[in-house]
Amino acid sequence: NFGKHLPCWKEGGRKACKNDPTFAKMEADKQNLVPAIGEINGDRSNFRYAEAPTNLKYTQYGNCKVYTDFKAKRFYPANYSKGWIARSYLYMSKTYNIRLSDQERKLMEAWDKQYPMDEKEKRIRALL
């Protein structure tokens, strides 16, 4: 999602950015690398993160409390992931001068506050 701001992206996406040093640095940045289930990661694609409707039934991925809204092109992450996602987005935005939309920035800032770092995340991020 972050590569779309680079000039090479406009000339063919990920393949066109293959040899771009900034893209390579962003793609390999450990703050941006998160283990993910392949099917969910593929379905999420480049959909924007959003708050899920309160009546949403999380049935797409078994016991995983995430939901991909293909029609609205939105992805609703599990509550336990929102803080990590927010801090990663805010870090990438600041580090690589990536402009987030006002709506996206507000959501990430809200999640960062609402879901603060726990001890496990602090230990993991310290190792990165």
Strand order in the sheet with 67-69: 48-49, 74-76, 67-69
d(CA 80, CA 1): 21
pLDDT in tens, 7-63: 999 898 889 998 999 999 998 999 888 778 889 989 988 899 999 999 998 889 998
Number of domains in the chain: 1
pLDDT over 70 percentage in the chain: 99
Q: What residues make up the domain containing 64?
A: 36-77
Phi-psi region of 73 (alpha: psi -120 to 50; beta: other; left: phi over 0): left
Identify whether 58 is part of a domain. yes
Identify whether 55 is part of a domain. yes
Model confidence band, residue 81 (pLDDT cutoffs 50, 70, 90): very high
Identify whether 87 is part of a domain. no
Identify whether 71 is part of a domain. yes
Identify whether 91 is part of a domain. no
Mean pLDDT of the chain: 92
Identify whether 104 is part of a domain. no
